[in-house]
Structure 1
């Protein structure tokens, strides 16, 4: 830590620079994007439409935070498990005083006071809620209403915005501006079956299946219906009950997906009788609702909480219901409410301010990476790193579109880029492509194979370079590909997706008082997260810290506790996609494989 006097000496020459740079200068374009494929200009929004404008200030010490993150997450490092405190992380991501001073003076010159601004704990984000006409003047831009032709969604966005040139080095990005992502649940609704019937129950296979390779025995019915018992058998966790009082698990909910407590009781009565009458904590983020009408029960939310909380019971469970980016209705003269930012940042702002966030968190939502501005993806990914440094494990579904975007008929996917060049490329998903989260792909049946084509997503990021923890495994996979295969269709130097996998089809879920079979990587992520919570329990009961950011462990010692999936391929974009193989692979998007809890519980305790 630098002394106050030393800080004053260092900053004294910068104060003059800050004063000089506060003089208003001409606007210069900060960011511009091509109109994303599938969006058309619909009209002009009302001038009094309100927007929650978020301004990100640079984090000059982020590389130092990243160093800390990798050291405390590497099982071979002396600092493994020595996670940072909330205050230590905030100190590392705080903007430079010059940036704070320059941006404050700009906002003050526009008539804003401190009461108008909401600052993040680290002061690296400033939020102001203003009429759209004011935002247009500030950013020297014009907003329009845009319509997504296929879905009918509407957004108020611009394709370019400007800032005074003296602010460019002090402001990293401003949103919502160029962000056209649709932010959708990572599931394919075609895999949601008709309501579960008694006929299916009477036709369930009897007996058991033994995996010759692992020796694991599973009820034969698990190839027709996935229940908690099936997952415990498949992943070698039968008989384990967590007991650490300081353990916790979280599920994120967005887009008015409500986790219904009556449905949870039906699920517990059916699959986890010991948990009947237990419930979960609901935390509202930015006014997120908690509608408990059975008619409004969310299939995504019910799936997530039932399996994540069912596997990990009685670990302390939390469901985050986050408001944001409700569909804009262009035919109303008056706006229904403020136009919030992408819910990722709304939720991240909230959870980074929590003194003790849940230790393992699953999110089953995502965007096509190419619909997310690069600056936004980078900054959001950096926020995920802050949570990892504090000891939080973050799991994200890898997506459901094969190597494509999943928006079209898989047989005719064209996988066209949004960069205005209309190139054909594989389409990775975000946030799964962020190297600071654990991306979860899908498998099915037992013995496990990669889930059916177009039902699990991944590949290689176009935004993020391959992290060092992947170098050995991803390089080995690429070396086995035929020379020139898919040249130009993917970025061989990009972060590989996913990292791991879990069962993702035929999950028996209660929705609106009825049982359904449902699937998607939206099922595999909460299931995997449930087992991460069990592993945290093992460590906490041994007096050790939680696992935190998982990937450095998974790609080193943890690999020995994963079931390798070697069968399948992931088609899309007019190609067969990548093949599954021994070791890590994006083929069928199984990554390193699925969890063997019995082995992993020993590995997380090994020195």
Structure 2
């Protein structure tokens, strides 16, 4: 019997919309969504506008891979840590020959031969470049130019597509079709020097504070400015020096033209990590992504991510990926644009690599409801493939509380995207891997300058490893509180938390103070890199997919955060409380305890 593995149990789900439009005889509607909120439908695109179409074929033995993932990630299983090779993973997710044959025959009927196709290593994705007029015939649909009112972003999309009836079961998903997600970073709020003094002198305040949750003695200055030393003190990692630097590794994903400037990194190292001076990271371009070193183009998000993730884990091998994904776009231009979620382009690239960093942080995501369920499932299948190879994938939980970060009912903006426009909490995607919320201050409380993202997925069921702690949280909520605003059977997030405000970074040559769960995720990834070092030097495998471990053997290694809340959607949101909560998860890490427990 297959285990109920929860967030990564990726059984195909029904469409988001119960009532599907009719299709041309001989076709069946594959997916349909309501016209998305905030987007305005415009003219038809030019007939020769080229679309890069990605076709996902069913992963024939994914249930077997899922079983492997459950076993190698369960600390009480005999196979814990026995990760699979890239080649074995590809064998398990390869489509059945009948799927390949059916799809190839269909594509050939439109004049597309093998030379026109790009296949993933496992052949479970096929990518083609075709004019929109051809795509419309293939999918029995009509594309339009859609404009996002608030940002001005423009996409060529449809709200429904169909497949020939005989092909229906041979394809899981096709995009870009119904995807209206807008990849965004967590808030990354910057406080400029004009507002407050963040000089080294101001930060160097004397005295210590005892954190009540962890018992750690922390410099008083950490209540004003977070540095590497603050995190080491607060999370009981002070004095630990990684040794297993050959096998160990950490990675940061970069999107949306966020460039990681090496000069800024050197300034940061001189300020907080002088032993790392004159060292840097490996840069890897994905889909033509660049890392422009013009200091004026240094990105706040990228600076925060690389400086703290790599500074905290130094001298562990470090990688920064830059994934292209937001070029200038005119809807009458033939040039195809990468307006899909670039994190899936990154995922495709990384899964094709023989070696992958063992701890990876991403500070970007979407509102879950803007990502079609079928596409979300396939993305999570990709994250599962990394997990079964021994990689820990970590995402920030977002900075908008339970939805929009707005407690005012009169101006809240949390509405369903299914055509009903009812008020509902808005979970983020992907929060199905390991999700990190935000704290602040010493003693630690849930962050308050923005609001730690948290809640419950509407797509993914609660995993079995979460059952006990989430049930306990829900049982203690006042009866009827937020009824119908969230899915109590959904996967809860975040899983954990770490400091998320007043981080001292260097940006464009000067120190800045920055906050957001954008800071929390790379910090936690740095702690995971240190834990991997401890395991590798003891001849043990890396931690891989973290959650089954965190919710069992790792529970005693977290500082429980019991103060704060995450308002949004016209409510006060949830409260941080004893045990797991959808604000700070299990709490913040105690490295010293975790390395002994794990």
User: Take 2:470 and 2:198, find their aligned partners in 1: how far apart are those partners?
Assistant: 45
Deviation at residue 595 of structure 1 after TM alignment = 0.5
SS at match of 2:554: helix
Matched, 1:389 2:388: yes
Matched, 1:288 2:282: no
Aligned residue number for residue 263 of structure 1: 264
1:6-49 deviation digits (Å, cap 9, x = unpaired)? xxxxxxxxxxxxxxxxxx98222211111111111133322232
Aligned residue number for residue 250 of structure 2: 249
Among 567, 584, 598, the alignment partner of 1:590 is 584
Matched, 1:494 2:493: no
Query: Taking structure 1 as the reference length, what is the TM-score of the superposition?
Result: 0.91
User: Take 1:407 and 1:141, find their aligned partners in 2: how far apart are those partners?
Assistant: 38
Matched, 1:365 2:364: yes
Alpha-carbon RMSD: 1.8
Change in 2 beyond 3 A, CA 1:468/1:137: same
Aligned residue number for residue 297 of structure 1: 298
Is the Cα contact below 8 Å between 1:53 and 1:127 reproduced in 2? Answer: yes
Q: For 1:198-597, what aligned pairs fall within 5 Å after superposition?
A: 201-204=200-203, 205-244=205-244, 245-326=246-327, 328-330=329-331, 333-335=332-334, 337-406=336-405, 412-432=411-431, 434=432, 437-452=433-448, 454-586=450-582, 589-597=583-591
Aligned residue number for residue 99 of structure 1: 99
Aligned residue number for residue 82 of structure 1: 82
Is the Cα contact below 8 Å between 1:325 and 1:342 reproduced in 2? Answer: no
Deviation at residue 575 of structure 1 after TM alignment = 1.3
Deviation at residue 418 of structure 1 after TM alignment = 0.4
Query: Taking structure 2 as the reference length, what is the TM-score of the superposition?
Result: 0.93
Gap regions ≥5 residues in structure 1:
1-23
Change in 2 beyond 3 A, CA 1:411/1:307: farther
Is the Cα contact below 8 Å between 1:442 and 1:503 reproduced in 2? Answer: yes
Q: For 1:106-125, what aligned pairs fall within 5 Å after superposition?
A: 106-125=106-125
1:328-361 deviation digits (Å, cap 9, x = unpaired)? 334xx43455345321221111100111100000
Deviation at residue 455 of structure 1 after TM alignment = 2.3
SS at match of 2:233: helix
Deviation at residue 137 of structure 1 after TM alignment = 2.0
Change in 2 beyond 3 A, CA 1:290/1:202: closer
Deviation at residue 228 of structure 1 after TM alignment = 0.5
Deviation at residue 214 of structure 1 after TM alignment = 3.2
SS at match of 2:42: strand
Is the Cα contact below 8 Å between 1:196 and 1:514 reproduced in 2? Answer: no
Is the Cα contact below 8 Å between 1:140 and 1:162 reproduced in 2? Answer: yes
User: Take 1:192 and 1:178, find their aligned partners in 2: how far apart are those partners?
Assistant: 38
User: Take 1:199 and 1:131, find their aligned partners in 2: how far apart are those partners?
Assistant: 53
Change in 2 beyond 3 A, CA 1:408/1:186: farther
Change in 2 beyond 3 A, CA 1:554/1:294: same
Deviation at residue 59 of structure 1 after TM alignment = 1.5
Change in 2 beyond 3 A, CA 1:590/1:102: same
Is the Cα contact below 8 Å between 1:176 and 1:342 reproduced in 2? Answer: no
User: Take 1:341 and 1:404, find their aligned partners in 2: how far apart are those partners?
Assistant: 23
Change in 2 beyond 3 A, CA 1:195/1:104: farther
User: Take 1:242 and 1:511, find their aligned partners in 2: how far apart are those partners?
Assistant: 27
Is the Cα contact below 8 Å between 1:195 and 1:517 reproduced in 2? Answer: no
SS at match of 1:569: coil
Gap regions ≥5 residues in structure 2:
1-23
Change in 2 beyond 3 A, CA 1:34/1:327: farther
Is the Cα contact below 8 Å between 1:453 and 1:571 reproduced in 2? Answer: no
Is the Cα contact below 8 Å between 1:155 and 1:327 reproduced in 2? Answer: no
User: Take 2:425 and 2:156, find their aligned partners in 1: how far apart are those partners?
Assistant: 28
Aligned residue number for residue 155 of structure 1: 155
Is the Cα contact below 8 Å between 1:154 and 1:327 reproduced in 2? Answer: no
Change in 2 beyond 3 A, CA 1:412/1:523: same
User: Take 2:196 and 2:404, find their aligned partners in 1: how far apart are those partners?
Assistant: 33
Greater shift, 58-67 or 542-551, is seen at 58-67
User: Take 1:461 and 1:273, find their aligned partners in 2: how far apart are those partners?
Assistant: 42
